[in-house]
Amino acid sequence: MSLPEPSADALATSHALSHRIAADIAAADGWISFAHFMQEALYAPGLGYYAAGSRKFGADGDFVTAPELTPLFAQTLARQLAELLPQTAGNIMEFGAGTGRLAADLLLALDALGCAPVQYFIVDLSPDLIERQRDTIARLAPALLPRVQWLAALPKTFDGIMLGNEVLDAMPCELVVRQQDGRLQQRGVTIRDAVQSMGANLMGAATLTPSGGFPLLVKYLDARENLSVQVHPSPAYAAANPGAHLKTESWYIVHAEPGAVIYKGVRPGVTREQFAAHITDATVVNDLIAVPVRAGDFHHLPSGTCHALGAGVVVAEVQTPSDTTFRVFDWGRTERALHVRQALECIDFSGKTDPAPVRASEGERTLLVSTEFYAAAELNLRAGDPHTLRIGGRAPRVWMLLEGAGEFRAEAGEFDPVPLRTGDTALFPAAMPAARFTPTTPTRVLEVLLPHREPPTGLRT
């Protein structure tokens, strides 16, 4: 037996919800808790499974539970509750009450047994279901409705009996796994999960990493002290060492304290042998090009560029998602290992590194860099002037809001408005419908695009 095809409205709601969750993951540096995922999947306003308004229970819905079929379920349960309630303060708390049919039948059965509860609490997060529960109880047990109270969270104290009929699929909860050493590790939902569930609707014609992951990593870095001097594998080193991966990155300077610098490349004339000797005597920083920085500077760091963030600098970083890093100097800190031999094989000693930054022009959009891995542009948007975003199925796009605030709205109303403010990161799936961002204040955005082929067919936008 095959399942029926979802309706066009159901598919549209599903895609809008997927877009919302993907944006949440991107804004949280690529990871959200399982409880956060459940909250969105089930109760996102107008989109979540229990909050989108469609019928879930009964012949016209997705499933039927025992209380919906017959009052015998509640009447049988009531006999057990009648024995236990006198041993408590006489209260009942039900989690996830569905249509309210179990609550109504229990109230009637307990009242018939002369053991009606003092209070019947219902813990539920769905406004749609709460309204339906209230209507059901008012229709079937109107005299007992005043005993019912709805809660959105557990009370600090409770004396009574708790009921949970199929509760785990309705309440957001944390997911943990026990490691081999006995430690508990919290599980969550990542960009990789979004890639697997959304497929081409997220990625369009963009290419995944060889391991099937998202081909980009973006984050904010706040260097309150000098960060380690390091280098990522050069193309030659990566070709000769299969376990090593290229890592090209770029920094947009969001904030810089007076006198702050970054270190970008090796000074012309410094040899590999001199550099190695200066690592040993801890003077290697003098071999690096110290570049004074100010907010609005953009620096690109191809693989093989020796680099470090100086103290007092905040950057928006865009990079390919490789974790192969070779550390050569850590400012006297000894907690982390150095990788001097590997680094010396990777560092570019040609003296051709350009230390000069790129800065945006006066126009609305300035291309800052274009590589085989990604392109980055700065958008300068005026308050009140809508900016239209049309992706058209080509590839996902990332926005990092460097300054300002505003709101995204779908041009045809396919998803709820999404507010963005300074420091937020948003991931826009390839299949996202045309949308407009209206700044409420002057706004600067770092926009990151992925290379792509022609958009695939069959995308739902």
Query: Alpha carbon of 112 to those of 78, 109, 160: distances in Å?
Result: 10, 5, 19
Distance CA 250, CA 317 (A): 6
* Pairing label, strands 326-329, 229-231: antiparallel
Closest CA to 417 of 426, 425, 429, 409: 409
Task: Please compute, for residue 202, the number of CA atoms within 13 A of its CA located in the half-sphere on the CB side.
Answer: 27
Query: Alpha carbon of 309 to those of 3, 234, 365, 413, 426: distances in Å?
Result: 54, 20, 27, 43, 25
Catalytic residue (choose from 20, 101, 132, 327): 327
436 among known catalytic residues: no
Distance CA 86, CA 121 (A): 17
Report whether 284 contacts 327 (CB < 8 A).
Answer: no
Report whether 188 contacts 33 (CB < 8 A).
Answer: yes
Closest CA to 78 of 61, 95, 92, 57: 92
The structure tokens listed for 306 are 């020796």
The set of catalytic residues is 327
